[in-house]
Amino acid sequence: MRILVVGAKGDIGQAICAELQPRHEIITAGRTSGDHQVDLTDLASVQALYQAVGPVDAVISAVGEVKFATLAEFTPDQMLFGLQNKVMGQINLVLAGLNVVRDGGSLTLTSGILDRDPVAVGVGAATANAALGGFVKGAAIDMPRGLRLNVVSPGLLDVSAAKYGQFFPGHVPVAATRVGLAYAKCVEGLPNGQVVIVDG
């Protein structure tokens, strides 16, 4: 398959590529890295990305920023930032891709563990992650041309634990290889409308 991976240079993106690269053609994209640059929050930029990449069988997103702060410090603007970036960015990728991905192809997004196992500074992530789950469930029933749509929701990756582990007290890190497999399931298998949980 020909697969576009957006956010390929992040920890999750690298796990995805490590799993899929041996048996597929991978085109990478990122805000500042990869074969193509894209700003997912800008629909025109997303459309230009699809135009530049050409037909693909699968689109995978492993991107999305949110703000981290305690509830007492959290502002509406910080919350909106996560909705505009992690949520709308990935939704833009889906909406613009509906007429681009080949018949029977798939789109796979990335959320995360913090809506089912929250941490003190994670309310923005919890909101964004859950929104993506709802989007996938709501959109999957209406996908055209046999397209499928799923979201992978991984726990803290083992390779990310040194950097982010302090914010996840007691969380069991997930092997990056297992996270990569979840995307393979979404791309090479036939799930649709699923939140694919990968916990440690």
For residue 26, the cross-strand partners are: 3
3-state secondary structure of 51: helix
The order of strands in the sheet holding 195-198 is: 36-37, 25-30, 2-6, 58-61, 106-110, 148-154, 195-198
Q: What angle do CA 25, 147, 198 make, to 5 degrees?
A: 70
Pairing of strands 148-154, 58-61: unpaired
Q: Kindly identify the residues of this chain, within the stretch 103-122, that bind its own copies according to CB under 8 A.
A: 114-116, 118, 120, 122
Nearer to its own copies, 24 or 148 (CB): 148
Q: Per-residue contact track with its own copies, 56 to 75, x per CB under 8 A?
A: --------------xxx-xx
What minimum distance in Å lies between the beta carbon of 19 and its own copies?
27
Nearer to its own copies, 154 or 180 (CB): 154
Which of 29, 53, 125, 196 forms a contact with its own copies (CB under 8 A)?
A: 125
Residue 88 lies near its own copies (rule: CB under 8 A) = yes
Amino acid, res. 128: A
Interface residues toward its own copies, by CB under 8 A: 43, 70-72, 74-76, 79-80, 83-84, 87-88, 91-92, 95, 98, 114-116, 118, 120, 122-135, 137-144
